[in-house]
Structures are given as structure tokens and as C-alpha cells.
Amino acid sequence: MRPMQYACTGLWLVAAACSLNVNSPPPGAQPDGGSDAGADTDTGIDPDSGGAISCAAAVTAGREHTCAVRTDGTAWCWGRNDFGQLGDGTRIDHTAPAQVMNLTGVTAIAGGRSHSCAIATGGAVWCWGRNDAGQLGNGSPGDSPLPVQVRNVSGAVRVVAGEAHSCALLADDTVTCWGENSSGQLGDGTTTPRNTPLTVTGPAGVTALAAGRNTTCAIDGNRALWCWGANEDGQLGDGTQMPRGTPMPLAIPDVAGVAVGESFTCAMTTAGGVSCFGTNEHGELGTTDDFSVTPVPIAMPIKAAAIAAGARFVCVTDPRARLWCWGDNSNFQLADTTSDERLFPTLSAYTNAAEIAGGENHLCVRSASGELLCSGYNGRGQIGDGLRTTQSTPSAIPGLTGATSIAGGESHTCASLADKTVRCWGDNETGQLGDGSRIDRTTPVPVESVAAAEQVVTGSDHSCARLADGSVACWGRNDSGQLGDGTNLSRGIARPVIGLTGATQIAAAAERTCALVGGDVLCWGAHNAILNSGGASVFSNRPAKMPNLTGVLAVAAGSGHTCAITAGHTVVCWGFNYFGALGTGTDPDSDVPVAVKDLTNVDQLAAHGDTTCAHVTTDNSVRCWGRGGNGQIGNERYDDDGTPQKVLRLPSSKKIAAGFLHSCAIKPDGAVSCWGADFLGQLGDGDYGDRSLPVDVSGLSGVVDIDGGDSHTCAVLGDGGVACWGDDRRGELGDGVSALRVPASPKLPCP
């Protein structure tokens, strides 16, 4: 007979999500209002209306999708769906729950990286989504957006899913696995992938099961922990970094729960203690060590009652059903109102936790009475609240008119308007929006004390405006002197740059600002404002003239380099030569301007990060150089290049722009093409895949100006409106949406 144990569900990176007694529902959360362009039609009770959603019987989290089982035995999924991992017969992301088709009587569910599995009537296992390694277990190749039955499995009581493998615990306490096996994660002693299940030998009387990226663990009837598979970071805890193709027992007594993350594992004992092993890049081990190949006890402030893991974080419940978490928190997934990485267990906002589900960057918690809340990254709709924090196609900013130019910072955006005022939105942690506050804004706000603005530019966390009288005013972060006001104090209100007059153009990037004055280039801030002869950065909190450089027509700034168009329409660059950013075809940094190789007849420059692009007047082509690992050079390659390369499949252009890892051009007809990184939708073509050749931005025409931020892009339209796309976690798209600092309720319709 199976011993008393925690009732755990299989998750992509989680093994234990345990039933506890709860007496009240978890607190609700109000999302930041906004619209979701192109979102699916949602059904069910809107949490904003105050209705309680209390029909969730189980929950799981995949990489960027979430699934739940309702009390009526139906399964519902939401979030990323490019491989059909939501099981609704489509490959379209859903920002609210969509029902898994043709599946009833569901008792358990698990989310993998890009696939999902469930146990249905009779203990049969059904899977759907990606099937490149046989992780669907149906013996056939090919992805499936609809559930397919796993062969030769019956009597399953628990199912788990890793990156590309799946395992089930059967009623006879044995384990069977299928899918990817490159690290031995199937436990059969080989590295051969299997598209049908095989029995794992080793642990007897298995009571709990967990799957991480390429690692699997089980607890046997004697409460011993067995693990197998990938071990490059010590996640098997056996004192080595060697993969294991068969289960190996660990010397941890009385194990009651196990959670496997991306490259780490944590074990919970019957006494409520927790030990972890593997990587500790984000504090996953609850210590300050880099990593550990053997179990490291965590100093727990409470007795752990259940444990679960996301890709790079861990959560436990205490006997009062409160949630304590540690590790990666960059997307507010730990629900402690911050995005601070946690190196030790920290109390979250979740209460009454009965089940925990961790994805790559999001977390969902179910109460015993069936309420469901989620927190963290919502770029593909995995929170399920009807919103999302990325847009892969342009979304117009409501109410913003009269824009003439646009500038994208790291996570904020600014526009200059026809009335010579400036409006900004997005991240405002250092005052870069200029409204006098440090509060993020998801819609445009006026910049205080700036009038007669002719141009606006943005660095990582600061902004500057060139005024009609040739002066420049800056605001935001100033620890490197990038505001040019003679201090290193950050400012939420614009201040004039000291002694600067006659500016005809300005440029900003990272922690540096430059101005063009009478053909001279003056810069201030950090990262090679001027380099000394030793190649080290000189920090200047007031303008400093670049020596031996005159007759400049335009200037552009990247993260660690600056480029200028000379009087002869050639280009020179100086600064750090990371990834070939100087365009010379050689490796050394340079503290003096050096000529970009084989580039003439240039009338425009665009720089961001370590990539620069130039517009060539002879054929209206675009040439790019520098960092190219995401395809941002546009030459059909994903390689860096230290010499200018012609952007292919872009016959003609009239204006260019650069983001941190992507580039864009306005075409003669006012349409836009972009290329490079697209993992957050910054190319605007409706997809999320990097492109080494230009792709057209969906539904965009009549564009007069464009600029890229770190992971977003905005364009000014001919009517003065602004449309943005890409990352929206800090409100940088201006559409009223941002990442939530508190948990939100998925719109799961109840029967």
C-alpha cells in the first residue's frame, strides 16, 4: 500500500506541490489596466469584477505557459502556444485560459518546456505540443496541437515533464519515461531518445517524482532520493559533474519532497529541512556559493511543508500555508513586491497555498478551495489575466497625438511633440521620465520644465532634450555624469547641461550623452566620453570636446563606442571595440577616431549597444557592423562582423534606427522593416524568432520616425500618433500595461 505522502503534481521544473488545509481564499490582485492587441476572446469571471474563481483542482507551469484542471475534470491552458502546447488545436498564444480539446476526466497535469501531458480517465496519459524528441510518447513524429495518447501506459497516478522528456508514476509504484535522452534523463542507461515509454529500473516503491530540464528524480518507499540525467552543474548531488544514465541514490535521509529546477535540485526532509545542490547563479541554493555538487542545507526560518521549483527559483510552504521563496526574482515572480534576487527564503504575498507551480519566470499558486493566483513574467500571457507584457505587432498609444520624434531607452520611451513639449513613459526608477517622480508610468506623462524641445534622446536610464536655443537639458540617472550638470546626482526634473550652447544634434546611449556643436563633438558621462591613452574610461559630468575631430555632420552613440559622419561623408568611430563595434576590421580599442572600413557617402548613423548602422546615399542601402549574434547586422548571418555589411533584402530605405539587439529601417513608402533579436517581439512581425534578414512590421505605414530601445521599438506615424511593440514589462509601450508586482487571477471560467 502506498504510504501517506504529499499530493504532488508534475510540473516542468517542479515535483512537489502539496495539499494543505486552508481556511480562506488568497487575496485578489488588480492588474494595471490596458488593452491586449490581438488577444483572444476571454470567457469566465473577470477578477476585476470581484467574482471569486474557485474551481481549480490542479495547476502546472511550463516554460511560458500554464495549465489547470477544473473540478469538472476538464483541462485549460494559457500562454505561449507556438508548438500547440495549449492543446486547443491552434498555435496561437492565449492570454486567458483555453480548453484543451477532446480531453475529459483529467486528474493530473504537467507542463514541459513546449509540451504538456495529463492523466485522464483510467490512468491513461495524453500529451500535446512539441514532439521533436518523442516527448509526446505516441510513437509518431510531429508536433500535435491536440492531445495524443501515450502508448502502453495505464494506471498512471502522477505525470511530470522536463524540457523535452516526460515521465509517469504508475499505480504499481514504478516509473516510466519517454522523450529526449541526451543526458540519460530517461534512466535506461543509454542516451537514445524514445518516442514510447520505457520502465525506469532502480528505485522501488516510488512515492514522488520530479523532472527538471534534463534531470529526473524520484523518492522511493524508504524515503531515499534517486536522481539521474544531466549533471553539469552538480544537480544530481553525487559529488561529481558527470551525467548519469541510471538512477543513483543520494545520502539524504527521510526525504519527503523533491523539486528540480533548470540546473539544480532541492530536497525536503520529513523534519521540514531543505538541502539543495547544483548551480547557484541566482541564489537557487539559498547560499552565497557559486554551485555545489553535494547537498547544502539551507538555513530555513520555518519548517517546510511542501516544496516546488521554477527554472531558477524555489518556493516552500510552511505549516500555516504561507509561501517562502528564494532565487531569481527579476520578473516579480516571487511576489514579494520587489524584483530583487533572493539569496535566502523570503516571505511572499501568497497565503493559503495548497499547490505550487513554477515556470521559467512565473509562479502560480492554488488554494485548497480552488482559487488560483499567478505572478511573474507575462510576456506570452502565462499569467492568464487577459493581458500580456509583450506585443509582437504594433499597438497604438491611446491619446498621444502630435508626436514628431521618438527615442527608446533601456526600458523607457520619450517623444517630442509638435508643441515643443516632451512626453515620456515606462521605467522611472531614476527619474528618467522627468515628471518629478520615481514612479513607473504605463502611459505618457509630460516632462516638467522642458519647453521648445527640438529633439529628444535617451540613454539607458536618462533622457535629454535639445532646445530651440541650442541648449540641452537632461534628467534621470546621473551616477556617471551623463546629465552633464556638473554633479553625479540623479534628477527627476530636467536640468541644463553646463556651458553647452549651439547644439544642432544630440545623441545618447548607456551612461553617456554627446552633442554636435559647430562641427565639434562634445560628450559627457561614462564609457569613452573620451578615452585616455591607457584605454580606460574617463568619467566627465560636464561636456568635454573630442580632440582632433572637426567638421562633423552627425554623431551616434553606442554602449561603449561613438561614431561620427565626417565632412566627406565617411564615418569614424572611437571607444571600445567589443564585437567589432568600431568597424575597422581590427581588434584594438581606440581613444582617437578611426575610419570605418570601406564606407562612403553616408548621411545617417544609428547606434545602440555594440552595433552601428549607416545609411548610404548612393543606393539608399543600409550597412551595419559590430555585434550580430541575433542577426542585427542583417546579412543572413548570426555572427559579429567588424566591417560594414550590406543589409540584404532591403532594396531602399530613408531612415534607420537601432535597438540594443535589433535594427530597423523606414522604407520609402513609409512601411518599416526590422531584423535581429525578436524574443520579446521587438521586430513587430507577429512572431518571436530572431531574424538575420529584414521582416516587415505588421500593419504599419506612413511612418516618419522610429527608434529602438533595449527590447522594444516605437514609431511616429504620419498623423502624429505613436505605435510601439516589443517588451512592455516596465510600461515602455505606453499602452497602460506593465509587469504586475502582486499576483493576478487567471480568467479561468468555472462550470
Q: Do 585 and 642 contact (CB within 8 A), yes or no?
A: yes
Same domain, 678 and 660: yes
pLDDT at 8: 37
Would you give the DSSP letter of residue 399? Answer: T
Same domain, 81 and 123: yes
Q: List, for residues 318-367, the tens digit of each pLDDT value.
A: 999 999 999 999 999 999 999 999 999 999 999 999 999 999 999 999 99
Q: How confident is the model at residue 537 (pLDDT cuts 50, 70, 90)?
A: low
Same domain, 686 and 656: yes
CA angle 402, 557, 578 (to 5 degrees): 140
Q: Say if residue 35's pLDDT is above 50.
A: no
Same domain, 299 and 404: no
Q: List, for residues 125-168, the tens digit of each pLDDT value.
A: 999 999 999 999 999 999 999 999 999 999 999 999 999 999 99
Q: List, for residues 677-728, the tens digit of each pLDDT value.
A: 999 999 999 999 999 999 999 999 999 999 999 999 999 999 999 999 999 9
Q: Say if residue 500's pLDDT is above 90.
A: yes
User: Phi and psi at residue 578, in whole multiples of 5°?
Assistant: -55, 130
Q: Say if residue 533's pLDDT is above 50.
A: no
Please tell me the distance from the alpha carbon of residue 429 to that of residue 498, in angstroms, as a whole number: 24
pLDDT at 289: 84
Task: Say if 65 falls within a structural domain.
Answer: yes
Same domain, 459 and 382: no
Q: Which amino acid appears at position 50 of this protein?
A: G
Q: Looking at residues 439-453, what average pLDDT do you find?
A: 97
Same domain, 533 and 615: yes
Q: Do 374 and 364 contact (CB within 8 A), yes or no?
A: yes
Q: Looking at residues 208-216, what average pLDDT do you find?
A: 98
Q: Say if residue 377's pLDDT is above 90.
A: yes
Residue 327's domain comprises 54-389
Q: How confident is the model at residue 548 (pLDDT cuts 50, 70, 90)?
A: confident
Same domain, 463 and 374: no
Same domain, 384 and 398: no
Task: Say if 341 falls within a structural domain.
Answer: yes
Q: How confident is the model at residue 662 (pLDDT cuts 50, 70, 90)?
A: very high
Q: List, for residues 451-479, the tens digit of each pLDDT value.
A: 999 999 999 999 999 999 999 999 999 99
pLDDT at 21: 27
pLDDT at 529: 43
User: Phi and psi at residue 607, in whole multiples of 5°?
Assistant: -135, 150
Domain boundary among 389, 406, 425: 389
Please tell me the distance from the alpha carbon of residue 8 to that of residue 530, in angstroms, as a whole number: 59
Same domain, 426 and 495: yes
Of 23-27, 112-116, 245-249, 636-640, give the lowest mean pLDDT range.
Answer: 23-27
Task: Say if 425 falls within a structural domain.
Answer: yes
Task: Say if 44 falls within a structural domain.
Answer: no
Task: Say if 159 falls within a structural domain.
Answer: yes
User: Phi and psi at residue 49, in whole multiples of 5°?
Assistant: -85, -5
Domain boundary among 389, 418, 449: 389
Same domain, 63 and 115: yes
Q: Say if residue 588's pLDDT is above 80.
A: yes
Question: Given the C-alpha cell 554633479, which residue does it identify?
Answer: 487
Q: Say if residue 734's pLDDT is above 80.
A: yes
Of 39-43, 108-112, 214-218, give the lowest mean pLDDT range.
Answer: 39-43
Task: Say if 372 falls within a structural domain.
Answer: yes
Same domain, 483 and 568: yes
pLDDT at 53: 67
The neighbour count for residue 253, using CB atoms within 10 Å, is: 12
Same domain, 377 and 415: no
Residue 38's SS3 state is: coil
Task: Say if 732 falls within a structural domain.
Answer: no
Q: Say if residue 30's pLDDT is above 50.
A: no
Pairing mode, strands 244-250 and 255-260: unpaired
Q: What is the CATH number of the domain that holds 284?
A: 2.130.10.30
Domain boundary among 364, 389, 414: 389
Q: List, for residues 157-181, the tens digit of each pLDDT value.
A: 999 999 999 999 999 999 999 999 9
Q: Say if residue 539's pLDDT is above 90.
A: no
Q: Which amino acid appears at position 668 of this protein?
A: P
pTM: 0.90
Task: Say if 297 falls within a structural domain.
Answer: yes
Count: domains in the chain: 2
pLDDT at 527: 62
Buried b (16+ CB within 10 A) or exposed e, 85-116: bbbbbeeebbbbbbbbeebeebbbbbbbbbbb
